[in-house]
Amino acid sequence: MNYWIQPAVSQDNAAIRALIRTVKINPLGIYWPRFLIAVDDENRLIGCGQIKIHQDGSHELASIAVAPAWRGQGVASALVERLITTPKQPLYLTCRAHLGAFYERFGFNAIQPAEMPPYFRRVYRLFNLLPRFSRGKSDLLVMRR
The sign of the CA dihedral 19, 122, 90, 136 is negative
**How high is the pLDDT of residue 129?**
79
Q: Which domain holds residue 22?
A: 3-144
* pLDDT tens column, 2-15: 999 999 999 999 99
Asked if the model's pLDDT at residue 94 lies above 50, the reply is yes
Q: How many domains does the chain have?
A: 1
CB within 8 Å of 19: residues ≥ 6 apart? 45, 47, 48, 65, 67
**CATH value at residue 100:** 3.40.630.30
* pLDDT tens column, 20-48: 999 998 888 999 999 999 999 999 999 99
**How high is the pLDDT of residue 134?**
47
What is the reported pTM? Answer: 0.89
